[in-house]
Structure 1
Amino acid sequence: MTSFPYGVVRVVIMQNGFNRFGNFNNRSPLRTLVNPQEIRKSWRSGGPVITGSIIVVCVAVWLIEIILRFLAPEAYMDFVFGGVVSPSLVLMNPWRIFTSMFLHSTNVLHVLFNMMALWSVGPLLERLMGHWQYCALYFISGLGGAVGLTLWAVIEPAPGWYTYALGASGAIFGLFGAVMVVFRRVGADIRPMLIWIGINFLMPFVISGIAWQAHVGGFVTGIALTELLTNGIPRLKRKSVATRMWIYGGFIVAALIVILVLCNMSNPRLNLSL
């Protein structure tokens, strides 16, 4: 493999009719998410195993939240607030960056909308990039979402540092950015997708409580990482996508961690603990 598989992108577009954003590869049967034989078959054929696994985990965690909220409210509060991400806690409890990506509010629209968005773009990217490269893109974009929240806390300290966020949307916006880069490179019509992304970016102005900062952070991270994968150092273009993901993904992660550390120099909670 000498470059990002643009030929595969074109074939996938032609085979699946990806001229509309809503038509991304969503034809995979749901049985591939629960049947071990189907999972193995789907893995070998480049099917959406990682995407399906993320959806299953997010929905399962959401159901646990619902059960706890009605049967054990105190346990529900411990469960949720023990996993949400907050700029003031991101260095002291770095695991929150990832646990928050599997938590959603108990409003069914939150988890439903996010999982539908993930299923609309995830299978295509997973097929194009490979399972583990796609998985890396997803979680690195989620890290970018946490960095977006932290950068905003520096700009707007109150209540920025004590903002709590949960949900997969930061990582999903990273996938939006990745699809936009790839489709633009192959000359596909991305206008419907841009409209969809624009609507999502405008939602915080209509619905309160949406962490738009995480959306922006994930989106920018997804674009930056995919741009490097597709248009990075010429000498690395002969390397496989997996190798380039290790190199560029590692660079992006290191850069995001440096940004987090620098931002936390003004973290009031961290300064108090010192």
Structure 2
Amino acid sequence: MRMPTKQQIRYQWERGGPVITWALIIACVAVWLVEVLAGFLSPVLQNWLIVQGMAAPATMVREPWTIVTSMFLHAPNSILHILFNMIALYSVGPELERLMGHWRFLGLYMISGLGGALGLMTWGVLAPGGQGWRYAAYGASGALFGLFAALLVVYRRIGADIRSMLVWMAVNFALPFVVGGVAWQAHVGGFVVGGLLTWLLVAGVKPWRGKSLKWRMQVYGWGVTVLVIALILALNTANPYAGLL
């Protein structure tokens, strides 16, 4: 398969093609291949890469970059994790990218991933016996569930039939409890934050509904980002490991 030329990428960009969606897929697959290669070279190196990049409530505030790096890591010893997530991304990404525009779609994706981190931090506080603070996760699922929520909000807004989507989302939410070892907390956090941001964009404050989508994304996007970061910092005050690590 040949790589697309600059002219082809520009053509897709100008016509609302899924340029950012493909860029995210390529980035996630590239990182996964690095993980796999590291495993062939040294299992210790592979483990170090994952540990350094995954998001853990106990260290998230001290190592905030892990909120981003964890979104591009996937289980290196199985193709199912990366395959399922990338199929999910391609199933909803192009439609949202076309509706929102490239950069606004990327903003929604990253803010939803931040929501996934908030879900992990919330579990750190709520989990019995403090076990949530010792939890760690990686994968694009938090951001993806934000996209699921966004599409649900948009389809509901335009009156489209969402019954099949609701069934599909219910299966995805139930999957962690069947399979095990899946960070459902990040799924919930990403879903809530992505849904909230999209609801604000399509409805939100009544006097602002006439503003451009670009303006609304700037105001609501940064507003939700600041709110989520503030909540993460507030939850971290209950972190028993904050002063130890």
Q: TM-score range by the shorter chain?
A: over 0.9
2:6 paired with 1:36: yes
Q: Residue in 2 aligned with 1:142?
A: 113
- Greater CA deviation, 204-213 or 152-161? 152-161
Superposed counterparts of 1:78-227, under 5 Å = 78-106=48-76, 107-156=78-127, 158-227=130-199
Per the alignment, in what secondary structure is the counterpart of residue 268 of structure 1?
coil
Aligned position for 2:209: 237
- After superposition, give the CA deviation of every residue in 1:26-77 in whole Å (9 maximum; x if it has no partner): xxxx86x743221111000011011000000100111111111122222211
> What is the TM-score of this pair, normalised by structure 1?
0.86
Give the unaligned 5+ runs of structure 2: none
Alignment correspondent of 1:24: none
CA distance in 1, matches of 2:47, 2:7: 38
> Using the alignment, how far apart are the partners of 2:13 and 2:223 within structure 1?
28
The unaligned stretches of length 5 or more in structure 1 are: 1-29
- Matched residue of 1:271: which SS? coil
In the other structure, the counterpart of 1:7 is none
RMSD: 1.3
Q: Does 1:266 align with 2:213?
A: no
Tell me what 2:41 maps to.
71
Moved over 6 A (4+): none
Q: Residue by residue, what CA displacement relative to the aligned partner does 1:4-39 show, whole Å, maximum 9, x if unpaired?
A: xxxxxxxxxxxxxxxxxxxxxxxxxx86x7432211
* 1:228 aligned onto 2:200: yes
What amino acid maps onto 1:193 in structure 2?
A: M
Q: Which AA in structure 1 matches 2:66?
A: R
Structure 1 residue 203 displacement after superposition:
0.6
Distance 1:217 1:90 in 2: 15
Cα distance in 2 for residues equivalent to 1:262 and 1:81? 24
CA distance in 2, matches of 1:206, 1:82: 28
**C-alpha distance in 2 between matches for 1:208 and 1:73:** 24
Percent identical across equivalent pairs? Answer: 51
Displacement of 1:260 after TM fit? Answer: 0.6
Give me the TM-score of the superposition, normalised by structure 2.
0.96
Q: In 1, distance between residues paired with 2:80 and 2:56?
A: 22
